[in-house]
Structure 1
């Protein structure tokens, strides 16, 4: 029994270290799609697919964990959500990656928060509402 607990702890520790390194490396990437401060043209070209692909490329272990958490065994082949297999899990995974990166480096990795603020401003929300809803 103790050997199983030791093995489980070792695997958990390895996964945590790997994910930390992946996230740290992505936060240091100067060309990351998750970085804030984009031009209007870059915002017009917003795509969940590019965010998902960067996650797969830069953070494969974290992305696989998020895929496992959001899909079922049958829907993981085509990335359908567990709650609705006909809906793509890529926006959910991209959002989760953006939130994790923002928690790690809020002054650099604020892409999703920036897009959310613009959408709220276009909808007529006041500034104090936008700042209170920050992640």
Structure 2
């Protein structure tokens, strides 16, 4: 019963509105735990808690579907492949990531950053896809 309720709660969060580590540009200080996973039709819904330690980062990557995230604690700095910062998200903030958008998530703070992420992906897709480092210098 917990799994359907968790997925439903995450879907509700998505309605009101992060990563496996990329090996091509390895991340550092990132862990993730899958809390729930459900496939409906041709879509996988995965709820995952992602923690990035101070100074940690995800590595450059993208997703095959849309992600919806809630910052449970800490602050996430989110950069795009053109090196621009497209968001700095603190505790209680939500954001989404579009399919195919190359990005990196970084914790520039002094405390662990924890995200609750709902991945809405085509069935069978990996949680993330590696992307080359665009040369931003971080």
Q: TM-score range by the shorter chain?
A: under 0.3
TM-score (norm 2): 0.27
Higher strand share: 2
The structure having more radius of gyration, on CA atoms, is 1
Q: TM-score, with normalisation over the residues of structure 1?
A: 0.27
Which protein has the bigger helix share? 1
